[in-house]
Amino acid sequence: MAGCRASVDLYDRPVARVFSGIQPTGDLHLGNYLGALRQFTRDQHDHDAVFCIVDLHALTVPQDPHELGRRTLDTARVHLAAGLDPSVCTLFVQSHVHEHAELSWLMECTASVGELRRMTQFKEKADKAPEQEFVAAALFTYPALMAADILLYGADRVPVGADQRQHLELARDLAVRFNHRFGDTFVVPAAAVPTVGARIMDLQRPTEKMSKSSVSPQGTVGLLEDPASITRKIRRAVTDTEVEVRYDPEAKPGVSNLLTILGAAVGEDPAQLARRYQQYGELKVDCAEAVVALLEPIQARYAELAAEPSRTAAILAEGAAKARAVAAPVLEQARAAVGLLPR
Ligand code: AQP
Among 22, 25, 27, 32, which is best to mutate for testing ligand 1, by the most ligand atoms less than 8 A from CB? Answer: 32
Contact indicator for 134, 14 with CB cutoff of 8 Å: no
- Is the domain of 187 the same as that of 333? yes
- Is the domain of 287 the same as that of 315? no
Q: Which domain holds residue 231?
A: 217-303
CA 174/CA 111 separation, integer angstroms:
6
> Strands of 48-53's sheet, edge to edge?
89-93, 48-53, 17-22, 157-159, 190-192
Is residue 4 assigned to a domain? no
> How far does residue 283's CA lie from ligand 1's centre (Å)?
25
pLDDT of amino acid 11: 43
User: Which residue's CA is minimally distant from atom 12 of ligand 1?
Assistant: 32
Is residue 132 assigned to a domain? yes
Check the CA dihedral 216-221-225-228 and report its sign.
Answer: positive
pLDDT of amino acid 1: 39
Is residue 149 assigned to a domain? yes
**Which of 212, 233, 252, 284 is the catalytic position?**
212
Is residue 122 assigned to a domain? yes
Please count the structural domains in the chain: 2
Look up the CATH number of the domain holding residue 34.
3.40.50.620
pLDDT of amino acid 6: 40
- Is the domain of 149 the same as that of 246? no
* Sequence-distant (≥ 6) Cβ neighbours of residue 313 within 8 angstroms: 73
pLDDT of amino acid 298: 98
For 291, the enclosing helix (H) or strand (E) is: helix 280-306
Q: Report residues of the chain scoring pLDDT below 70.
A: 1-15
| φ, ψ dihedrals at 87, nearest 5° | -85, -15
Closest approach atom of ligand 1 to CA 22: 17
The beta-strand segments (E) located in 54-202 are 89-93, 157-159, 190-192
- Is the domain of 190 the same as that of 239? no
Kindly state the DSSP code that residue 83 receives in the 8-state scheme.
T
- Is the domain of 318 the same as that of 296? no
- Is the domain of 157 the same as that of 45? yes
Active site residue 128: no
- Is the domain of 70 the same as that of 162? yes
Is residue 211 assigned to a domain? no
- Is the domain of 25 the same as that of 132? yes
- Is the domain of 41 the same as that of 185? yes
> How far does residue 82's CA lie from ligand 1's centre (Å)?
16
Ligand 1 pocket residues where CB is under 6 Å? 22-23, 25, 31-32, 34-36, 160-161, 163-164, 198-200, 209-213
CA 281/CA 265 separation, integer angstroms:
18
| Closest-CA residue to 203 (of 29, 36, 37, 39) | 29
Is residue 212 assigned to a domain? no
Look up the CATH number of the domain holding residue 288.
1.10.240.10
Helix, strand, or coil here: 200?
coil
Is residue 278 assigned to a domain? yes
Query: What are the DSSP calls for 221-234, one per residue?
Result: -BTT--HHHHHHHH
pLDDT digits (tens, 9 = 90+) for 131-180: 778 889 999 999 999 999 999 999 999 999 999 999 999 999 999 999 99
Active site residue 212: yes
CA-to-CA dists, residue 249 to 109, 198, 227, angstroms:
40, 13, 27
- Is the domain of 273 the same as that of 316? no
What dihedral do alpha carbons 147, 152, 156, 160 form, nearest 10°? -50
Closest approach atom of ligand 1 to CA 160: 33
pLDDT of amino acid 128: 77
- Is the domain of 114 the same as that of 257? no
CA atoms within 13 A on the CB side of 88: 14
Is residue 204 assigned to a domain? no
Give me the count of residues in the chain.
343
- Is the domain of 322 the same as that of 175? yes
Active site residue 233: no
> How far does residue 45's CA lie from ligand 1's centre (Å)?
23
